[in-house]
Amino acid sequence: MSDHIPRIRDELQRGFGSGKLKSVAFRREQLLALAYLLQENQARFQEAMQRDLGRPPLETSLLDLNGSIREAFLCYKRVEQWAKEESPKFNLATWAISPRLRKEAKGIVLIIGPFNFPIWCLFSPLAAAIAAGNAAVLKPSSHTPATSALIAELVPKYLDPSLYRVVLGDNAEVSALLDLQWDHIFLTGGPKAGRIIATAAAKYLTPITLELGGKSPVIIDPSCDLETSCRRLLWAKTSNAGQICTGPDYVLVPKHFQDEFIEAMSVQYANFYPNGPAASDSFSRIVGPRHFTRIKALLDATKGEVALGGETDSATNYIAPTVVRDVREGDSLLSEELFAPILPVVPVEDLDEAIAYIRARDHPLALYLFAQDETVKRRVINSTLSGSVGINDCLLQVSAEGLPFGGVGPSGYGAHKGKFGFDTFTHLRPVIDSPWYVDLFMSLRFPPYSTKSLQKINAAMLPTLPNWQGAGKNVAMTTSAPVPVNVNARGRFWDGEAVAIGIKASGKGVLLNGKEWLGLVLGMGVVLVGCWVNFGRAL
């Protein structure tokens, strides 16, 4: 039953309304508690992931747990700096109104996680949401029941239950969550789920972040270090049994280089699984029967040639690491994101055809290139668009500190990790405080308006543009009373946008009357005193 979900949201609203999260010190306590939640229960998470995905403990630590702990600790260390109110770069035109930027929490956020990385994809955005001062509901995947149950058990033990809750369940619970209004929704999932979330969010104009996926291509250039490239590529394709949204989906290789590439892959395959992948304790399983059936159907329908692997076992949801060569346009393995340990190899004539193939499809979440030729690297990056790029390695761009994680277009929008995650869950709130003396030199904004006032405002506010060969040739319409604005830049104060004093178009004089001169002198005097005080504080 999902009747309790509105009550959970209401309780979190009261918790958020208490103002506890206004305190950065309190946020740091919660972030540290989150880090300990993960660190003190590593063995339990490894065991749960072993039950849900047959995942080796090393992969759970490397791909899920360690990154989550690091993210929580990074937010713990940096939140005081990130949350500070900021002032824009000093500008004489606007200094007097004291512009500043506050970092406000959005409110109650909903974070929906996937089955393939049920720890990192929930707790990494949660750390950012906490750092930004938000309350949150977590919805882990129903496809990983052991891990989701563990999350539901641990969160109320470590985090403030008036601010952070977990909702378990399937489609009914997700529907109940989406019927409610949230202040931000963060989803990691597939394009189908992304469309559902976006449609539901539109009802309340809720801001959303979508981390989706797609078919991430790999270009193999003959200039690459082939042994290293194949070892890294095979690792990325077989980790978590290929169920990684940024994982390599298919390979584009020159036709004349395909045999050499397949041979190098077979060497690494034998190194990884000397007794075969089915007997290996270093290879995961597909998450469930429905996903197994989908993947096997795609493999059975391929017109390509299975070069490595190909074995399946429905009883254990086992699909062997598989390399399929000579895959052509329109093949079943190219029809959708595989999310499987199957690597289709698509032969192309050259780099131009490889780039054209990628450009003709949706922007992927990741693009990978194996090449030593710097010219090839520049061409691929400059000719394509993707969420991220990995050159001579795969997946590691996600773990690089200081870089965002996110897609573009159909592969998602928005980003998280570190400061990028903090910004995702933060409302940047501009504030000004305008003193009485501002009207001494900004009085021209008040009625009654006149042509002279417009001249003065334009003269002071409009920038002096550099010469352009098309100037004056594309005017669509003119006013009945054109106003000269060709102001000599030497007549400007500071950067040309300082004070609306009405410099004459020729730059030879001013158009101020006595009262305006008095206001200007007094206003500038106040500004100069303010500058002296401001700089004195800075020193």
* 428: exposed, middle or buried (Cβ count in 10 Å: 0-12, 13-18, 19+): exposed
Q: Is 366 helix (H, G, I), strand (E, B) or coil?
A: strand
Residues 105 and 28 both lie in one domain = yes
Residue 469 lies in a domain: no
Phi, psi for residue 72 in degrees, rounded to 5: -65, -40
Q: pLDDT category, 347, cuts 50, 70, 90?
A: very high
Residues 264-291 have a mean pLDDT of 97
Residues 128 and 8 both lie in one domain = yes
Residues 340 and 194 both lie in one domain = no
Residues 83 and 223 both lie in one domain = no
pLDDT by residue (tens digit) across 69-127? 999 999 999 999 999 999 999 988 888 999 999 999 999 999 999 999 999 999 999 99
Residue 256 lies in a domain: yes
Structure tokens at 282: 């270093």
Q: Is 405 helix (H, G, I), strand (E, B) or coil?
A: strand
Residue 509 lies in a domain: no
Residues 24 and 147 both lie in one domain = yes
Q: Cβ neighbours of residue 267 under 8 Å, at least 6 residues apart? A: 227, 230
Residues 181 and 229 both lie in one domain = no
Q: Cβ neighbours of residue 504 under 8 Å, at least 6 residues apart? A: 459, 491, 510, 511
Q: pLDDT category, 493, cuts 50, 70, 90?
A: very low
Q: Could you give the number of structural domains in the chain? A: 2
pLDDT of residue 318: 98
CATH, residue 134: 3.40.605.10
Residue 305 lies in a domain: yes
Residues 424 and 290 both lie in one domain = no
Q: Cβ neighbours of residue 431 under 8 Å, at least 6 residues apart? A: 99, 100, 101, 102
In 3D space, the residue among 12, 14, 347 whose CA is nearest the CA of residue 156 turns out to be 12
CATH, residue 229: 3.40.309.10
Range of the domain at 225: 217-401
d(CA 90, CA 100): 11
Residues 302 and 322 both lie in one domain = yes
Q: Mind giving me the DSSP string for 163-196?
A: TEEE---SHHHHHHHHTS--SEEEEES-HHHHHH
Residues 384 and 241 both lie in one domain = yes
Structure tokens at 80: 């005081």
d(CA 426, CA 492): 37
Spatial contact of 416 and 120, defined as CB atoms under 8 Å apart: no
Element (H, E) at 111: strand 108-112
Residues 58 and 45 both lie in one domain = yes
Positive/negative CA dihedral, 477, 482, 487, 493: negative
Residue 317 lies in a domain: yes
pLDDT by residue (tens digit) across 296-334? 999 999 999 999 999 999 999 999 999 999 999 999 999
Residue 228 lies in a domain: yes
Residues 273 and 330 both lie in one domain = yes
Kindly list the catalytic residues: 211, 245
Residues 357-376 have a mean pLDDT of 97
pLDDT by residue (tens digit) across 68-78? 999 999 999 99
Structure tokens at 133: 């001062």
485 or 411, higher pLDDT: 411
Residues 209 and 237 both lie in one domain = no
Residue 520 lies in a domain: no
Is the preceding omega at residue 191 within 30 degrees of 0, hence cis? no
Residue 121 lies in a domain: yes
pLDDT of residue 515: 53
| Strand residue runs (E) in 309-411 | 312-313, 318-319, 322-325, 342-348, 366-370, 388-391
